[in-house]
Amino acid sequence: MGAVCPLALLAAGTEATIADVRAGKGMRLRLAGLGLCPDARVRVQCADRGSLIVSVGDARYALSRGIAMKILVKEAA
């Protein structure tokens, strides 16, 4: 099990598990509605200097660097 780091730092193609979402309440609830909450498995599909497209389950989202920095993940072993 890898160390915890912000989602924004992952390279394209990496899979990881969300460890924590360090954002305000509103943003946290909103992310939970999208399936981006602790223990969710995400896959970085495309990374461009911090902006990402990640897939969670069957959904795909574009996230700006600001948010991707607040989502902490553990890289999959």
Partner 1 sequence: MTGIRVALAGNPNVGKTTLFNALTGSRQHVGNWPGVTVEKKTGRINRSGHAIEVIDLPGTYSLTACSADEVVARDYILEERPDVVVQVVDATNLERNLYLTTQIAELGVPVVIALNMADAAEAGGCAIDRERLSALLAIPVVRTVGIRGEGLDDLLDAAVREAETPPHHEHTVGYRNDVEAMIASLVGVLEADKDLAERYPLRWLAARLLEGDENALAKVRESPVSPRVQALLSTIDPDECEAAMADRRYDVIAAVLPQVRTAGARGMNVSEMVDRVVTDRYLGIPIFLALMWGTFELTFAVAAPFVALIEAGLARLSAAVAGSIGPAWLASLVGDGIIGGVGSVLVFVPNIFILFLILSFLEDTGYLARAAFIMDRLMYAIGLPGKAFIPMLIGFGCNVPGIMAARTIEGERDRLITILVNPFISCSARLPVYILFAGAFFGAAAGVVVFLLYVLGIAAAIGSAKLFRHTILPGESSPFIMEMPPYRLPTAGTSLLHTWSRGVMYVRKAGTIILAGALVLWCLASFPFGVEYGSSASLAGALGHLLEPLVAPLGFDWKIAVALLFGFVAKEVVVGSLGVLYGAGEEGDALSTAFLADPGLSAATALALMVFVLLYTPCLATIATIRKETGSWKWAGFSVAYGLVLAWLLALIVGRIAPSFIGGA
Q: Residue 74 Cβ, how far from partner 1 at the closest point, in Å?
A: 16
Is 1 a residue that touches partner 1 (CB under 8 A)?
no
CA distances to 15, 20, 29, 60, 61 from 45, rounded to whole Å, are: 9, 20, 23, 9, 10
Does 22 sit near partner 1 (CB under 8 A)? no
CB atoms within 10 A of CB 52: 24
Site string for partner 1, 28-47 (x = CB under 8 A): xxxxxxxx-xxxx----xx-
As given in the structure block, the two tokens for residue 73 are 């993940």
Task: Name the site residues for partner 1 (rule: CB under 8 A).
Answer: 25-35, 37-40, 45-46, 48-49, 51, 53, 55-64, 66-67
